Structure 1
C-alpha cells in the first residue's frame, strides 16, 4: 500500500493505493481502478482491512474526502457536489478513464453523484448503507438531533460527548471500531457534522436517474438508518442488484471487512469490471 496526494480544484486530496497482489514493481496497469469512498467523519482508514482483500484482484484507491483525514479542508460550505469534485479531479489527475466506485453512507452519496455526472467514467457502482434523499427525508432528518455535532469544549469533554452519540451505532464488543471513528472525527474538529448536512441537502431525486452504471445496493441487516431505503434506490437504478450483510450495522465496512470485500468482489466480477485491461 502506498500513500500520496493529488491536486484538485479545492485543494490537495490524500489517498492510499494498493495494486493487485503479485504485480511486479513498476508494472503499469490499465486505466481502470476501484475507488473506495468513506462515510462521515471517517477517512481512508475505514477501508484499511478491505483494501488488501480487494487488491488481490484489483487496483484499489481509497481517498480521504476533501475536509477529512489528511486531505485539504475547503473553506466554503461543504456539499456532495464539492466532495465529488475532489474524487473526479483525483481520477483525472491519475489518468483514470474507467472506475468502479464503492461508497459507504456519505461516500455512497458522493459515488452516486460521480456516476450521475460522469457516466463515461464510472463503469460500476456499489452503494453501501446509502439513504434515499428526497424532500420527505430531508424534512424528517432536519428535525432529528445532530449525528456527530457537539460544541467544542476547552476541557476536552466534547470527545466524550461525541463518543456517547455514536455508541448506539457500534457493536459493544468492538470498542476499537469506535476508537477509530473518534480519532478521525477529532481531525475534523468543529466541522464534523457538515458531511451529514451535505448528504441531507443533496437533491438525490434529481440526480439518481442519470446513473447508467450497473449498481449493487448493499446494507447491513442492523443498519436501521439506511436499510428501509434499499427498495427506493433500486427502483431508480436500471441495473441494480442487492445484498444484505449479516450481523452488521452502520460500521459494516470495518466491522466485517471479509464479508464486505467478498460481496463487492462478487459483484464486480459479475459485471465484468476489468481492473487491468
Structure 2
C-alpha cells in the first residue's frame, strides 16, 4: 500500500520489537506500553511532530499506547482488524494453538517448516486466500519468545474501546468481514466511540493490507485527508 499512501503523505513503516529488522527488547519487556515507548523514540529520532498512526492487529494496540503516552504527537488513529476485547477473539487455529503452547510450542518452533508456518497462519487471512511467501518468511524469523509474549501482552492490554474513548482522537476501524481471529461483528463495539468510522471489507479476512491493499489504502487516504 505504500506507493499509494505516499502520494498523499510521508509514510513511515516501523517493525515492532522482535519483528522484521527490529531486535528483541534487551530487557525482554514486550508489554504494549513499552512497545509504544519504542515507537515514540523512533518517531522522535525521525523528527516527526504530528502523525496519523495506523496499526494492524497487535500494531493497533501499540498505536493506542503511543497515543496514550504522546497525545500531542498522534492526531488520529486507524486500526485494522484489531480486536476490541477478549470476548471477540475466535481462534489462532489448531496449528496456531500448538505453536503458542508453552511446552510443545518451543519444540515445534525449532522446526517451523514453511508448511507448518503456513498452517499456523491459516487464520491470518480469509479461508482459501493464498498466504504470501513473504509473510511466511517474516513469521519464521520471529523467536518463540517474541511470538508468545507479544500475544499475551496484547491480551493483557484489553479492553480497547475504553482506552480509545478516553483519548478522544478521530478513529478509523477497518475489519475484514471474513476475519477468522476476531469476530467481524465485534467491530461494532468501536462504533459508540465519538468521531469513529467503522468499515467492514467484504470477502476479506484478518489482513486487509495483504488481501485487499487497494481498497484498504483508499480508506486510509480518505481518513488521512479528513483528519489533517
Query: What interval of TM-score do these two structures reach, taking the shorter chain for normalisation?
Result: 0.7 to 0.9
Q: Indicate how the Cα distance of structure 1 residues 98 and 52 shifts in structure 2: closer, same or farther if over 3 A, else same.
A: same
Secondary structure in structure 2 of the residue aligned to 1:53: helix
Aligned to 2:204: 248
Cα deviation code 1:7-62 (max 9, x no counterpart):
xxxxxxxxxxxxxxxxxxxxxxxxxxxxxxxxxxxxxxxxxxx1111001110000
**SS of equivalent residue, structure 1 residue 103:** strand
Unaligned runs of 5+ in 1: 1-49
Note the residue ranges of structure 2 that are not aligned, 5 or more in a row: none
> In the superposition, relative to structure 1, how do residues 128 and 154 fare at CA in structure 2: closer, same or farther (>3 Å)?
closer
Aligned equivalents of 1:107, 1:213: Cα separation in 2: 17
Against the structure 1 CA distance between its residues 181 and 194, is the aligned structure 2 distance closer, same or farther, given a 3 Å change threshold? farther
**TM-score normalised according to structure 2 size:** 0.83
Q: Tell me, in whole angstroms, the C-alpha distance in 2 between the residues paired with 1:203 and 1:164.
A: 27
Tell whether the 8 Å contact from 2:88 to 2:186 is kept in structure 1 after alignment.
no
User: What CA distance in whole angstroms lies between the structure 2 residues aligned with 1:197 and 1:146?
Assistant: 13
Cα drift, residue 219 of structure 1:
0.6
Partner of 1:98: 50
Q: CA-atom RMSD, angstroms?
A: 2.7
Structure with the bigger percentage of helix: 2
Question: TM-score under structure 1 normalisation?
Answer: 0.70
Contact 2:81 2:207 in 1 (8 A): no
Partner of 1:188: 142
Q: Does 1:151 align with 2:103?
A: no
Q: What residue is the counterpart of 2:188 in the other structure?
A: 231
Q: 1:71 and 2:27 equivalent?
A: no
Secondary structure of 1:188's match?
A: coil
Aligned residue pairs, count: 218
Correspondence list, 1:1-277, <5 A: 50-75=1-26, 76-133=28-85, 146=97, 148-149=99-100, 150-153=105-108, 156=111, 159-171=114-126, 174-177=129-132, 179-191=133-145, 192-205=147-160, 207-224=163-180, 225-235=182-192, 237-271=193-227, 273=228
